[in-house]
Amino acid sequence: MDEDLDSVTEETSFQVNQKKILSLDHHRSTLGMGTLNAIYLGIADYIDYLCLAEMVDSIEVCNFKNLMFVDTDSLYALQIVPDPQTKKNIPKNSIKSLLDFLNHTVTREGYLLLRDWVRKPLAKLDLIKQRQIIVQCFSSESFKDNRKQIFKLLSQLKNPFRKIRRLRTNELLWNSWKSLLVFLSNSVQIAKLLRLYFGSLSIETSVDHKFTTLLEDDVFEFQKLSETILSIIELQSSAEEGKVRVLGGVDEEIDGLRVIYNDLESILQACTQALMSSHNQSFNTVYIPQLGFLISVDIADHASGAALEWDQVFATPSNAYYKCDKVQELDEKYGDIHTLINDREIEIIQGLQEEVLTYEAKILKVIDGLVELDCLCSLAEASASPNFNYPTLTNGLELQIKDGRHVLLESLSKVVVPNDAIYEEKERMIVLTGANFSGKSIFLSQVALNVVLAQIGCAIPASSAVIGIVDKLLTRISSRESLEKRQSTFAIDINQLSKCINLETERSLVIIDEFGKGSDSIDSPALLGGTLTYFASRSDCPRCILSTHFLELFRGNLIVDRVRSERVKFLCTQVVLTDGEAKAADITYLYRIVAGVCDNSHGIHCAKVCRIPSSIIARAEEIARKLDAGKDLVNEMTLLTAHEEQNYSIARDVVMKFLALDFSDSVLVTFDLSEFDAIF
């Protein structure tokens, strides 16, 4: 990075104020230099070799202590945001992520802010409670109609936010002013709705919420500004021409010019008649903006070019245009009438712009408030879903979710089995085992998503919940393979596990789902067992949920005896087996989480469901029976079946009979083929 910075300095005269940079410690100095370099490379094409350091007042390290840490892999693995690797194959209106479920925003700015909130949930209790109170108010049944009305008013402001910000550039297009008028009107209407609602409640709104700007009296000054604009701009002609036009009666000079402009037809006819009385030719007098008054002569009718005393201005294939003394008199008397009107209108609109810009700070604050209001109403709309309830959040280490459901699964299926995720007093770990297809991964992501929802400030799909603030959400769930990573599947998995171990704190939530699928049957269970023991033995163990199919870890008390029983809870998914046998037709998944350790993953059943050929299934069942019986699999695989033994005996007898034939008699010229027939 330092070499790149030196090259940029030499080529573009980019200088950095060393006093500002060197005043930081070494780590921040390096980070600060890199940040300045990145900023400069982004704006180098737009500045005139300015010293970037003179544009920087201070360099500060951004602090994210009030936000939950969620890394990119976790965001995609838990489906908090859509995975760009699969997003192209997803129908537009389908709900495939938590962001999709929460997104009811009607403005682009609102969507971008909501996406930022979802990616960075809050991790400070006071901030979460403040947002939760507002979302709870907005999601109430009494505010439902107001919420719909707010969405309707905001939906009319999809593009105006960008256009309003362009007013400083002397924007004369009608669409920008129309957007401003809609913004002013809708802002006042929304402010009235909010004031009426909050006026009936004894709720104190926090100054940290930008939407509270709409509760201030200053917003109603927008009515005055709107009236001022409407008293100057003529709506119908502006809409027809796409350009701002000034109302009649606003300016005497424009009114006088318009009288002349509207009477141009008679002025042109009078000029034509006067010229034709002294010239025996056919022509017309015309007015062209910026060129003024001209004589138009048809070239086909006047091929001889009779009027030589006139100065030709320009010609088209069909007409030639001239200046003469008469039309020059009109130029001197009336001037470029159309341009004069436009110039005067520009002066008036610029004056109006200056008045609008006196409201600029307030307008920008209200825009920010409306964007936040769009997000809060979107969260409220999601929180108003059936059987959603607001959790109780604390600064402790609790995690007690009663009858929790998976928010995304519930949006796709009408029947979802609720499950509890409850840590008792000293419990810090949940080890989940169970059959394939029984809902282990759903349970893990369900807990994580409910925590994220709670710390965004939303209600969650559960009957009740008490959640201690989570500072980091760390996961080892799915392996997002990519050529850019240049790592094997197991290397990606082990790096994710390492991240969980190195970054966790006592307040973190660690989710590990089926670690070790990419390595052998010895190393993977050993690593998982070591990780489980490591977490359970720590006094500051984070809240962990692990799922695994390495059931051998829990046989013979290999792991159970090594961990403190009060720290670890063993759960499994519940299935019903008929006659105690794991045949495909005899397994019923209940999708319930119960206490205990599962004794079979029923993987062969999953293979049957996925339509693996029956011959493969039969062979797998045979091998599984041998393994369950404790037999040496290598020796067992070399044993012949009865059918194979019979074929072997037949082949051996044939070979022995063939070898018994005597071919040593040199006198023998011919051989009796019947002997071969007897053998074969």
Q: Give the model confidence (pLDDT) of 359-375 as tens digits.
A: 888 988 999 999 999 99
- CA dist., res. 435 & res. 572, Å (int): 9
Q: Are residues 448 and 544 in the same domain?
A: yes
pLDDT tens digits for range 173-183: 788 888 889 99
What is the per-residue pLDDT for 3? 42
Split at pLDDT 50, 70, 90, the class of 125 is: very high
Least confident of 241-250, 297-306, 498-507, 562-571: 297-306
59 located within any domain: no
What is the per-residue pLDDT for 10? 38
- 3-class DSSP assignment, residue 619: helix
Q: Which residue has the higher pLDDT, 492 or 40?
A: 492
Q: Are residues 586 and 571 in the same domain?
A: yes
Say if residue 13's pLDDT is above 50: no
- CA dist., res. 127 & res. 130, Å (int): 5
Within 8 A by CB and 6+ apart from 205, the residues are 134, 198, 212, 215
Please, what's the b/e burial string for 109-127 (b: 16 or more CB within 10 A of its CB; e: otherwise)?
A: bbbebbbebbbbbbbbeeb
Q: Mean per-residue pLDDT for 122-145?
A: 93
* Start-to-end CA span in the chain (Å): 82
609 located within any domain: no
290 located within any domain: yes
Split at pLDDT 50, 70, 90, the class of 14 is: very low
Q: Are residues 200 and 256 in the same domain?
A: no
The residue type of 366 is V
Q: Are residues 378 and 334 in the same domain?
A: no
655 located within any domain: no
Domain interval for residue 155: 69-85+92-246+352-383
- CA dist., res. 360 & res. 346, Å (int): 20
Q: Are residues 109 and 208 in the same domain?
A: yes
Split at pLDDT 50, 70, 90, the class of 243 is: confident
Q: Are residues 470 and 526 in the same domain?
A: yes
610 located within any domain: no
Task: Give the single-character DSSP code of 300.
Answer: T
Judging by beta carbons within 10 Å of its beta carbon (0-12, 13-18, 19+), is residue 234 exposed, middle or buried? middle
- CA dist., res. 463 & res. 401, Å (int): 8
651 located within any domain: no
- 3-class DSSP assignment, residue 466: strand
pLDDT tens digits for range 193-204: 999 888 777 666
305 located within any domain: yes
Say if residue 141's pLDDT is above 60: yes
Q: Are residues 203 and 314 in the same domain?
A: no
Instruction: Provide the number of structural domains found in the chain.
Output: 3
Q: Are residues 357 and 324 in the same domain?
A: no
Q: Mean per-residue pLDDT for 562-584?
A: 73
Q: Which residue has the higher pLDDT, 44 or 264?
A: 264
Q: Are residues 284 and 176 in the same domain?
A: no
- 3-class DSSP assignment, residue 389: strand
Give the DSSP letter string of 72-100: HHHHHHTTSS--TTTGGGS-TT---SHHH
CATH of the domain at 519: 3.40.50.300
Q: Are residues 307 and 356 in the same domain?
A: no
How does strand 319-323 pair with strand 311-315? antiparallel
Q: Mean per-residue pLDDT for 137-157?
A: 93
Q: Are residues 397 and 378 in the same domain?
A: no
Q: Are residues 260 and 406 in the same domain?
A: no
Q: Which residue has the higher pLDDT, 367 or 158?
A: 367
642 phi-psi bin (left φ>0, alpha ψ -120 to 50, beta other): alpha
Joined together, the tokens standing for residue 50 give: 């300015």
CATH of the domain at 132: 1.10.1420.10
What is the per-residue pLDDT for 520? 67
Helix residue ranges, H only, 360-460: 360-383, 407-412, 440-456
Query: Are residues 499 and 535 in contact, defined by beta-carbon separation less than 8 angstroms?
Result: no
Split at pLDDT 50, 70, 90, the class of 207 is: low
Please report, rounded to a whole number, the percentage of residues in the chain having pLDDT higher than 90.
30
Q: Mean per-residue pLDDT for 395-411?
A: 93
